[in-house]
Amino acid sequence: MDDLERILGYADAIDQSAPITKVADELFVMSCWTPQFCTALIRAAEVAGGFSAQPGDPVPGHEISLALISPRLFEAVQDDMGMRIWPQLQQHWPLIDYHGINDVFIIKYEKGGQEELRQHHDVAQVSASVKLNDTYEGALLDFPRQNFTNAQLPVGSLLAWPSLVTHPHGSTPITSGVKYSLTIWFELPISLS
Amino acid sequence: MNNRYIFRTLLILGALSTLTACGTWSDAQSVPPTTVLSSTTTTPVETGISASGQRSGPSAQASQLKLLELGFWLADPNGKFDDTTAQAVMAFQKYFQLRPTGGINAATAYLLERMMIPAVATTKEGTLAEVDKSRQLLFLVQDGITTYVMNTSTGDDRAYEEPDGNTPGVMIKGTAVTPAGSFKIDRERPDGWWIGDLGQIYRPKYFVGGVAIHGSMSVPAYPASHGCVRVTVKAMDFIWDNEILPRGTQVLVYGEIN
């Protein structure tokens, strides 16, 4: 199994070892991807390049969308989230409907680059973060209102929360190493008749 | 240049003049790509083509203009994300084998921004309508040139048994097939809604038996009709108003329901 098969074929990706678990108020964790797939994602993102903040972005992130790496990969992730992850979230949030993914992107944190991400909300229905590596110090995904960080979560786990109002979050300063994390914004309900 | 292209070009030019004349949007255009709704709220790019979902605004208008440029019909590139825009996005997504969500996600924005070649039907000559059952798309072709592509919903090939809308107490059994082949528009009903045996249809143009291209209040991304070729009410009005499918026009139906 090589990176090409993992990225373009979405192979060796799925980890279903841990079911959904509540870790804080309206914060849920479940296994999502294998460590091998997470590593392949990092390598693909680095090869694709383009980790940069948009000029003037008030909540800047050195990020790259999976759509830029491969629209096919974006579609595979979108399908997998709808079929595998969303039903687990519906166990706790039974009235949510799946409308696909608005964006899924990798953020890179390092000293001298993007070192932190200030507290903010997302404009989405549900947000999620997948820990792609753990060879760094600092750079905790921090939810002050819920008194929770992702420090203890294993690589490949997915953390999900309601995007607006109740779950402001940010990333604390990185102190060493390079952190890669993946963010998913699940599309808001479609309002058209 | 045929009149469809002139119409499409005028639509785009009109929208561009609106874009530059509108003070609010001109101001919005100067905002950096990943701007915010508030100082602590992230939101996708709001200028240029971006993953703006189904939100209205400058990004929606940029997408509308590009969709029209590529041949995916919508009513008005005015920045308002209406149902015809959602239909055009679905048609674009189907054409390029993306999941037809009807919203502009990152993958859709990525491809929409980069595609330069308009969508084409299989036919390279003549004036006709092509119904691709596999992709659930309707192509309008004039003099060999694909002028517009629309999202459609055809029959799903499944058996049905439903009450007859015109005869109380009677059930109708059948299979929801849109027959493949080459046909011609042989009859039509120009005005308003009609109560068919299996539901309401808008301004139908029949091409084989009771199977018609018609307007519908529901045009999902998947096959859902009893055999007819559904488009939105606004799309059907556009077809009628521009005399695109007059009686005698060929309708070519091909493909398989997946």
Q: From first to last of its 258 residues, what are the pLDDT tens digits of chain B?
A: 454 555 555 555 555 544 433 323 222 322 223 323 344 555 544 568 999 999 999 999 999 999 999 999 999 999 999 999 999 999 999 999 999 999 999 999 999 999 999 999 999 999 999 999 999 999 999 999 999 999 999 999 999 998 887 788 888 888 999 999 999 999 999 999 988 777 889 999 999 999 999 999 999 999 999 999 999 999 999 999 999 999 999 999 999 998
Q: Which of B196, B222, B100 is nearest to B214 (CA)?
A: B196
Residue B217 is which amino acid? Answer: M
Sign of CA dihedral B68, B74, B77, B80: negative
Tell me what pLDDT residue B139 has.
Answer: 98
Q: Which two tokens stand for residue A38?
A: 């997470």
Q: Note whether A32 and A15 are within 8 A (CB).
A: yes
Interface test with A, best of B38, B39, B42 (most A CBs within 10 A): B42
Residues of A in contact with B54 (CB under 8 A): 188, 190-192
- The continuous run of DSSP H or E covering A74 comes out as helix A71-80
Phi then psi for residue A100, to 5 deg, are 85, -170
Q: Does A57 touch chain B (CB under 8 A)?
A: yes
Q: Distance (Å, rounded) from C-alpha B130 to C-alpha B121?
A: 7
Tell me what pLDDT residue B15 has.
Answer: 55
Torsion of Cα atoms, B93 then A85 then A6 then A149, to 10°: 120
Nearest chain B Cα distance for residue A186, angstroms: 10
Nearest chain A Cα distance for residue B57, angstroms: 15
Residues of B in contact with A104 (CB under 8 A): 106
Of B41, B43, B105, the CB nearest to A187: B105
Residue A101 is which amino acid? Answer: I
Are the Cβ atoms of B34 and A78 closer than 8 angstroms? no
Interface test with A, best of B41, B83, B92, B234 (most A CBs within 10 A): B41
Are the Cβ atoms of A192 and B83 closer than 8 angstroms? yes
Q: Distance (Å, rounded) from C-alpha A35 to C-alpha A50?
A: 23
Are the Cβ atoms of B37 and A187 closer than 8 angstroms? no
Q: Which two tokens stand for residue B171?
A: 């059930």
Q: Distance (Å, rounded) from C-alpha B111 to C-alpha B203?
A: 34
Q: Note whether A123 and B57 are within 8 A (CB).
A: no
Tell me what pLDDT residue B198 has.
Answer: 78
Tell me what pLDDT residue A193 has.
Answer: 34
Q: From the first residue on, what is the mean pLDDT of each consecutive set of 10 residues in chain A (193 residues)? A: 93 96 98 98 92 66 90 95 97 95 95 93 95 97 97 97 95 97 91 46
Nearest chain B Cα distance for residue A35, angstroms: 24
Q: Across the strands, what pairs with B182?
A: B252
Q: Note whether A191 and B103 are within 8 A (CB).
A: no
Tell me what pLDDT residue A32 has.
Answer: 98
Q: Does B242 touch chain A (CB under 8 A)?
A: no
Q: Note whether B90 and B34 are within 8 A (CB).
A: no
Alpha helix ranges (H) inside chain B: 3-21, 23-29, 58-69, 83-95, 106-114, 233-241
Nearest chain A Cα distance for residue B118, angstroms: 19
Q: Does A105 touch chain B (CB under 8 A)?
A: yes
State whether ipTM is beyond 0.90.
Answer: no
Q: Does B105 touch chain A (CB under 8 A)?
A: yes
Residues of B in contact with A182 (CB under 8 A): none
Are the Cβ atoms of A118 and B86 closer than 8 angstroms? no
Q: Across the strands, what pairs with B20?
A: none
Q: Is A185 helix (H, G, I), strand (E, B) or coil?
A: strand
Residues of B in contact with A105 (CB under 8 A): 106
Are the Cβ atoms of B42 and A100 closer than 8 angstroms? no
Tell me what pLDDT residue A174 has.
Answer: 97
**Residue A118 falls in which region: left (phi positive, over 0), alpha (psi -120 to 50) or beta:** beta
Torsion of Cα atoms, B81 then B86 then B87 then B90, to 10°: 150
Q: Does A170 touch chain B (CB under 8 A)?
A: no
Which DSSP letter does residue A82 get? I
Q: Does A140 touch chain B (CB under 8 A)?
A: no
Q: Note whether B119 and B95 are within 8 A (CB).
A: yes
Q: Distance (Å, rounded) from C-alpha B215 to C-alpha B178?
A: 16
